[in-house]
């Protein structure tokens, strides 16, 4: 009996139909697992290339890489709590300490770690599971605006992106992203009640909840201006105002708690500024909004031999360019007003409070919904090219931060 011949085109078509029939959660899970395998391979390569000058030494184990850098601070917060007396350096300035690391992630990691055998196991497990949840939430967040195909590709870029290592190390990033994407989806669907629980958890997971307060304010203004074409019931007005107020209170609560425990009202800000002094020795001991970006513009462009004024011009050009992209760039506009206003709010927040250095890449993770703009073009060649670039970026980041990790700009 003659065997039936199946053409490659028919086989590919059957594979695509089978893929489309899978539940969304299963498809995202497959994408996420493959992405984590790729990241693990990159970590293994980085471990093999790690030498005696690296922070991790020669041929470190995967566990050492997963629990390196800030994971040690989260571990310290979990096992030792937060200091009641702020440590100081030789010059008498407040030194780095655990107050810079919010309590939800280390506490959850400690709780799960009690069952898994160690804090590190709990921390990595939470990061992995939260990363999958964030991927699924991102797909849901984008699907109504972009459709299933583009949303799935956005998840591919997100799960395999330049900072994908964060999904399998002891950092709070993936947990915060999960909470954030769910919160943004609640705003999209106007499920306000859930936000009263989500906002406090977000606010004690990772800094950035004040950006969410700004987002809610801008969103409320947007809804007010469009109230004739898009009704704005009084009940929604009250929720938006109340949730904005909750976000502000939560945003400052950790500073108040740190002040009460240490007896120093400026304990939290002084702690955050301690990291800035690693870059600029004569940095001010007081927080001034926008100062970090202005100082860093001069610092970096002087380091590169271009002069401080070039840095100031580049900073203005960057702000103008991002503003124009968020307002006018059609693929970004397709993402919807919620994602655009959140991205603008978070970038304004960074501009006001952060001193940009190597950690800036990690701190940009909360604007990950913008991956949807890169997934909008339907060209397979385009999407595969973007995927190749994000994988290259992921390897570059892991190589520098984990294989090398030996200079002041190689800190995740």
Q: Per-residue pLDDT tens for 51-67?
A: 888 889 999 999 999 99
Is residue 13 in some structural domain?
no
Q: Per-residue pLDDT tens for 215-239?
A: 999 999 999 999 999 999 999 999 9
Q: What is the pLDDT of residue 285?
A: 66
| Regions of the chain short of the pLDDT cut 50 | 1-2
Is residue 82 in some structural domain?
yes
Is residue 388 in some structural domain?
yes
Dihedral sign for Cα atoms in the order 284, 289, 291, 297 = positive
Q: What is the pLDDT of residue 283?
A: 59
CB-CB contact of 31 with 135 (8 Å): yes
Q: What is the pLDDT of residue 2?
A: 45
Rg (CA), the chain: 23
List helix spans (H) across 93-118.
104-116
Is residue 410 in some structural domain?
no
Structural domains in the chain (count): 1
Query: Rounded distance, CA 134 to CA 138, Å?
Result: 6
Q: What is the pLDDT of residue 275?
A: 87
Is residue 1 in some structural domain?
no
Q: What is the pLDDT of residue 1?
A: 45
- Beta-carbon contacts of residue 140 (< 8 Å; ≥ 6 apart): 181, 185
Q: What is the pLDDT of residue 90?
A: 83
- Longest alpha-carbon distance in the chain: 88
> What's the distance, Cα to Cα, between the start and end of the chain in Å?
62
Token representation of residue 251: 């945003």
Is residue 356 in some structural domain?
yes
Q: What is the pLDDT of residue 13?
A: 59
CB-CB contact of 40 with 48 (8 Å): no
Containing structural domain, residue 297: 20-404
Is residue 4 in some structural domain?
no
Instruction: Give 221-278 as a 3 state SS string.
Output: HHHHHCCCCCCCCHHHHHHHHHHHHHHHHHHHHHHHHHHHHHCCCCHHHHHHHHHHCC
**pTM (predicted TM-score):** 0.94
Is residue 10 in some structural domain?
no
């Amino acid at each position: 009996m003659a065997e039936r011949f199946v053409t490659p085109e028919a086989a590919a078509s059957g594979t695509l139909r089978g893929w489309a029939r899978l539940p969304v959660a299963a498809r995202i899970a497959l994408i996420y697992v493959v992405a984590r395998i790729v990241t693990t391979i990159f970590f293994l390569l980085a471990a093999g290339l790690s030498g005696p000058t690296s922070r991790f030494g020669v041929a470190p184990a995967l566990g050492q890489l997963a629990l390196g850098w800030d994971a040690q601070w989260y571990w310290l917060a979990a096992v030792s709590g937060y200091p009641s007396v702020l440590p100081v350096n030789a010059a008498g300035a407040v030194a780095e300490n655990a107050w810079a690391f919010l309590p939800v992630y280390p506490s959850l990691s400690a709780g799960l770690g009690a069952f898994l055998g160690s804090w590190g196991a709990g921390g990595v497990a939470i990061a992995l599971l939260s990363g999958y949840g964030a991927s699924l939430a991102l797909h849901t967040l984008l699907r109504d605006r972009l459709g299933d195909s583009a949303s799935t590709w956005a998840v591919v870029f997100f799960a395999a992106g330049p900072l994908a290592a964060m999904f399998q190390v002891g950092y709070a990033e993936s947990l915060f992203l999960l909470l954030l994407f769910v919160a943004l989806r609640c705003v999209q669907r106007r499920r306000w009640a859930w936000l009263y629980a989500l906002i406090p958890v977000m606010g004690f997971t990772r800094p950035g909840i004040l950006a969410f307060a700004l987002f809610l304010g801008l969103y409320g203004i947007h809804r007010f201006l469009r109230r004739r074409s898009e009704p704005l019931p009084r009940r929604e007005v009250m929720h938006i105002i109340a949730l904005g107020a909750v976000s502000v209170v939560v945003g400052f609560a950790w500073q108040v708690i740190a002040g009460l425990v240490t007896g120093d009202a400026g304990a939290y800000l002084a702690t955050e500024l301690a990291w800035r002094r690693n870059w600029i020795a004569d940095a001010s001991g007081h927080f001034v909004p926008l100062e970090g970006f202005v100082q860093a513009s001069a610092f970096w462009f002087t380091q590169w031999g271009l002069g401080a004024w070039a840095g100031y011009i580049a900073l203005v050009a960057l702000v103008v360019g991002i503003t124009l992209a968020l307002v006018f760039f059609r693929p970004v506009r397709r993402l919807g007003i919620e994602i655009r206003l959140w991205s603008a709010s978070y970038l304004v927040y960074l501009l006001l409070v952060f001193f940009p250095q190597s950690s800036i890449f990690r701190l940009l993770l909360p604007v990950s919904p913008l991956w949807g703009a890169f997934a909008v073009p339907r060209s397979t060649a385009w999407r595969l090219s973007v995927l190749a670039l994000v994988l290259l970026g992921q390897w570059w980041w892991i190589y520098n931060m984990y294989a090398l990790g030996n200079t002041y700009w190689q800190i995740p």
